[in-house]
Amino acid sequence: MNKIEVGFQEICEAYTRIKPYVVKTPLIHSDKLSELTGCDVWMKMENLQPIGAYKLRGAMNNMLSMSKEDLARGVVAASAGNHSQAVAYAARMQNASAIVCVPESTPINKRESAIRYGAELVVYGADYAAAEERAHEIERQQGRKFVHAYESPETIAGQGTIAVEVLLEKNDFDAIIVPTGGGGLLCGIAIAAKAIKPDIKVYGLQTDTSAPWKKSFEEKKLNNDCLFIPSIADGLEGEITWPNVELALTCVDGIIVVGEESTKEGIKWMAKNHHYMIEGAAATCIAALLEGHEELKGKRVLCIITGGNIDLDKFCKVCEAEYPARG
Amino acid sequence: MNKIEVGFQEICEAYTRIKPYVVKTPLIHSDKLSELTGCDVWMKMENLQPIGAYKLRGAMNNMLSMSKEDLARGVVAASAGNHSQAVAYAARMQNASAIVCVPESTPINKRESAIRYGAELVVYGADYAAAEERAHEIERQQGRKFVHAYESPETIAGQGTIAVEVLLEKNDFDAIIVPTGGGGLLCGIAIAAKAIKPDIKVYGLQTDTSAPWKKSFEEKKLNNDCLFIPSIADGLEGEITWPNVELALTCVDGIIVVGEESTKEGIKWMAKNHHYMIEGAAATCIAALLEGHEELKGKRVLCIITGGNIDLDKFCKVCEAEYPARG
């Protein structure tokens, strides 16, 4: 696999490029979580993007970086989650045709969102890998551009614009915590944040039910030999690939693993105290703070609230459960 | 009671005055609710103000209209809901002391919010009227300014800034629907909207469990002789007073009464489709559209999503219930 080349310049270019098409999301202070944890807690509310998640940034940057000829041939993507919605939405904004490949396990409502934004839906295979294979087949057959969910310079640069946006608004954070699945968001934010403020710390977050980043990052080599249990943070689930780990090793400070139960508690805490519905991935930020990890103690911490696309049934089930008290 | 004097000029002055202190909240399009209802539905998300409700605007305008001497003596307010939080928050921003009087029925979490923002809490009396009486007593004894929740020119002008903000962003709405309790928001929005776009229609919304505006508006005289049943839209409950009705008769086009069940369905619909937690008062907008009232058919409608401060338990209970299908 090729090394990914993306730097602060590409992120700044992406920032300028996508600015008219994405929402400058609010940066809010949580006095309650600050009191509770002894940290000074701020949250970047990417759940308030039009599709309900930050993924719009990367998809939009891909779309706006293409030639007119490429746009005319259309795009293809694979994802069971927010990336399909993002690509469908971004393509519609550019009057481009989009095909989105999703695995058979994708719930009806997530299929519907991509169709709603005008994408053609291809349901194929048992898992993400199979759906991605099908997407590449369509790429070859139809000459469509493949828009990667987390592992292309355009995608990473697009996600990194969050750090530019937020650090130009307020820049005295000690640390940024970033929910991490494929790692595109983590790398984009780390590159931009370190360029603006070299001594800031950037940590990736995963749940203990799916934490291949922890071993891979610490051993400095790809290691997918870990538990993979379905998680409330479904956006972070699954195996990872080397290129983003390699990139992360140049700019990220560490990976924090949070408990599955704490993540559920994070969803509930946010709903109860700030009246926001956030998805499991985003709630790993709250979980990390509630668990009191050493790296964050007493720090001014920026949480990336990545998205709010959670099924109402699942949300209510989580919010009604009791989670064990912590020390 | 004196006639309230407030016009478009006062609202524009308020707009300029409070702009640095309030959030320019997002205006979002609901493709789903548009499809479902045949209207073109837009929503002004005032639930995203820092205190979770539009009330910050009126409170802030009061605070910024006062002399230094008045500010130094502090303020006093009465409310069981969002207005107490708004006054506490606005006073803290101006380094002013605030006393908030709440009736004994006020739930613990709403009491805590006002205290969190630094207000002194006085718990007094069985209902709002008693708490307001106590607040006026404090006003007289301590020389504090009383900040009215819905019935002063400063409050009405502050709430009216929503219409200025939104109509300067997009101005082709046929109608605005406004959740209505005391009527400060309704009058403020109607005055500003008609000044900018004279043929726009402005309707107040109440639930059938507490609808004194309906009769009063139609009979052109105060009539509190109606049902008062506790509602999920607790912010809209209760008796009304003449000055705002008198004012509304000069600028408002009608009152739409929605069902209690539809209001609950509105909360659920919004959570399921847009992943926002909104309070019952705000959900009357969704209810009015779901019910298909004649005034709104086929129109481009702006909903004022007034707030998101709903208890998590109550929210989940509403979201898990089934509501009867409608035609």
CATH code for the structural domain at B8-54+152-320: 3.40.50.1100
Q: What is the pLDDT of residues A44-61, one digit of tens each?
A: 999 999 999 999 999 999
Name the residue among B26, B277, B316 with its Cβ closest to that of A275. B277
Residue numbers in A near B319 (CB within 8 A): 312, 315-316
Please, is A292 exposed, middle or buried when counting C-beta atoms within 10 Å of its C-beta (0-12, 13-18, 19+)?
A: middle
Q: Is B53 helix (H, G, I), strand (E, B) or coil?
A: strand
Separation CA B186–CA B184 (nearest Å): 5
Q: Nearest-CA distance from A52 to chain B in Å?
A: 8
Q: Is B109 helix (H, G, I), strand (E, B) or coil?
A: helix
pLDDT interval class at B208 (50, 70, 90): very high
Q: How far is CA A248 from CA A80, A216, A242, A244, in A?
A: 24, 10, 10, 6
Intrachain domains B8-54+152-320 and B55-146 with the same fold: yes
Residue numbers in B near A270 (CB within 8 A): none
A55-146 belongs to which CATH class?
A: alpha beta
Q: Is B93 helix (H, G, I), strand (E, B) or coil?
A: helix
| Domain at A8-53+153-320, CATH from 3.20.20.70, 1.20.120.1200, 3.30.420.10, 3.40.50.1100 | 3.40.50.1100
In the structure encoding, which two tokens stand for residue A154, read together?
């355009």
What's A192's DSSP letter? H
Separation CA A134–CA A66 (nearest Å): 22
A contact set with B (CB within 8 A): 23, 26, 28, 31-32, 47-48, 50, 52, 116, 268, 271-272, 274-277, 308-310, 312, 315-316, 319-320
Separation CA B100–CA B59 (nearest Å): 12
**Global pTM?**
0.92
DSSP code per residue over A196-219: H-TT-EEEEEEETTB-HHHHHHHH
Q: What is the pLDDT of residues A85-137, one digit of tens each?
A: 999 999 999 999 999 999 888 877 778 888 999 999 999 998 888 999 999 99
Strand partners for A122: A101
Name the residue among A28, A31, A52 with its Cβ closest to that of B275. A52
Separation CA B188–CA B194 (nearest Å): 10
Nearest CA in chain B to A268: B312
Q: Do A275 and B319 touch (CB under 8 A)?
A: no
Separation CA A99–CA B1 (nearest Å): 65
**What is the residue extent of each domain of chain A?**
8-53+153-320, 55-146
Nearest CA in chain A to B25: A26
Cβ-contact A41, A303 below 8 angstroms: yes
Separation CA B280–CA B282 (nearest Å): 5
Separation CA B184–CA B160 (nearest Å): 8
Q: Is B218 helix (H, G, I), strand (E, B) or coil?
A: helix
Residue numbers in A near B316 (CB within 8 A): 316, 319-320
Indicate if the pLDDT at residue A327 is higher than 80.
no
pLDDT interval class at B325 (50, 70, 90): low
Indicate if the pLDDT at residue B327 is higher than 60.
no
CB contacts < 8 A, A to B, total 47
Q: Which of A97-111, A164-178, A230-244, B37-51 has the lowest mean pLDDT?
A: A97-111
In the structure encoding, which two tokens stand for residue A317, read together?
């089930």
Q: What is the pLDDT of residue B111?
A: 82
Q: What is the pLDDT of residues B152-204, one digit of tens each?
A: 999 999 999 999 999 999 999 999 999 999 999 999 999 999 999 999 999 99
Phi and psi at residue B142, to the nearest 5°: -105, 0
Indicate if the pLDDT at residue B113 is higher than 90.
no
In the structure encoding, which two tokens stand for residue B63, read together?
């605070």
Name the residue among A26, A47, A277 with its Cβ closest to that of B23. A26
User: Chain A interface, mutation test: which of B270, B272, B312, most A Cβ atoms within 10 Å?
Assistant: B312
**Amino acid in the structure at residue A297:** K
Q: Nearest-CA distance from A300 to chain B in Å?
A: 20
Q: What is the pLDDT of residues A25-36, one digit of tens each?
A: 999 999 999 999
Name the residue among A48, A268, A319 with its Cβ closest to that of B26. A48
Q: What is the pLDDT of residue B326?
A: 58
Q: Nearest-CA distance from B116 to chain A in Å?
A: 9
Indicate if the pLDDT at residue B1 is higher than 80.
no
pLDDT interval class at B3 (50, 70, 90): confident
Q: Do A277 and B276 touch (CB under 8 A)?
A: yes
> What's the average model confidence in pLDDT over B96-119?
88
Separation CA B317–CA B157 (nearest Å): 36
The ipTM, to two decimals, is 0.88
**Amino acid in the structure at residue B83:** H
Q: Are strands B40-45 and B27-30 parallel, antiparallel or unpaired?
A: antiparallel
Q: Nearest-CA distance from B46 to chain A in Å?
A: 13
DSSP code per residue over B226-259: S-B---S-GGG-S---HHHHHHHTTT--EEEEE-
Q: How far is CA B192 from CA A156, B12, B56, B116, in A?
A: 44, 8, 18, 33
